[in-house]
Amino acid sequence: MEAGGLAWLLGPAQQLVSWGAAGAMVFGGVVPYVPQYREIRRTQNAEGFSTYVCLVLLVANILRILFWFGRRFESPLLWQSIIMIITMLLMLKLCTEVRVSNELNIKRRSFAAADSKDEEIKAPPKRSYLDFDLNYFWHWSKFADYVQCVLTFTGVTGYITYLWLDSSLFVETLGFLAVFTEAMLGVPQLYRNYQNRSTEGMSVKMVLMWTSGDTFKTVYFILNQAPFQFSICGLLQVFVDIAILLQVYLYSYYPQKPASHPAHPASTKAL
């Protein structure tokens, strides 16, 4: 009787744990970006956050969804990709609006400082996805350009996947590219911090959440026997997160002078 009662309690408990783990996988990935989003909205400054992080995650999750069509993995991982794509688009929208607004304000101040009545306030030059200028790639003036780029990438890769869906080699390679790209998530931020010799403007809470989330995710992959690409690249992602945390410690306790760079368009910076 006791064994039966224990089994009756364990069944729902295990189900709750399973649902909790699935929910953490679906929504846990977007949680780290909440403090960064709020920080950018509060300060109206997106300089400390690299929008190439958004590019990496958009590419990785689009490829992961396409991989699902060739090799069905757990539904929580699929929904995680959908939620992450929406989140990254929201981050891009905010960063673009803030950056363009700041550029316009700087332009206005520069004309005011010139104290010339004949000068006319001009808006900063608009940069478009359709200009096909690699110098301004992923540094466009309108959010719509980012959406066009994402839709174009999705359409092209989706068509190629449709043509090669019967090839197991292609499908496995697609899965590896998806998780390897995601594993490189922290690299733009790592490089951005190295260029600035500082982590100022970057949300440390975001990186701590990256680390805890990636650790949980990697353990989840291993325990649920997800495709091997997921586990290997999950470990790589954790190592990159730890490297960024080491930068936080290094630049906080041993401040360094910003690296001198030759003059170049602001657009070449990783915003």
| pLDDT of res. 112 | 47
Mean pLDDT over all residues of the chain? 78
Q: Which of 131-145, 197-211, 222-236, 248-262 has the lowest mean pLDDT?
A: 248-262
Helix or strand or coil: residue 131? Answer: helix
Please give the backbone phi and psi of residue 41, each rounded to the nearest 5 degrees, phi first: -65, -40
| pLDDT of res. 104 | 73
pTM of the model: 0.71
| pLDDT of res. 252 | 82
d(CA 216, CA 19): 15
Measured CA to CA in angstroms, residue 61 lies from 64, 118, 198 at distances of 5, 51, 29
Please compute the mean of the pLDDT values over residues 89-107 and round it to a whole number.
86
Among the listed residues 92, 190, 84, 86, the one whose alpha carbon sits nearest the alpha carbon of residue 139: 92
Confidence of residue 51 (pLDDT cuts 50, 70, 90): confident
Confidence of residue 209 (pLDDT cuts 50, 70, 90): confident
| pLDDT of res. 251 | 85
DSSP code, position 125:
P
Please compute the mean of the pLDDT values over residues 233-248 and round it to a whole number.
88
Measured CA to CA in angstroms, residue 128 lies from 56, 124, 138, 167, 256 at distances of 20, 13, 9, 37, 36
Both tokens assigned to 254: 């041993």
CB 53, CB 187: distance < 8 Å: no
Confidence of residue 111 (pLDDT cuts 50, 70, 90): very low
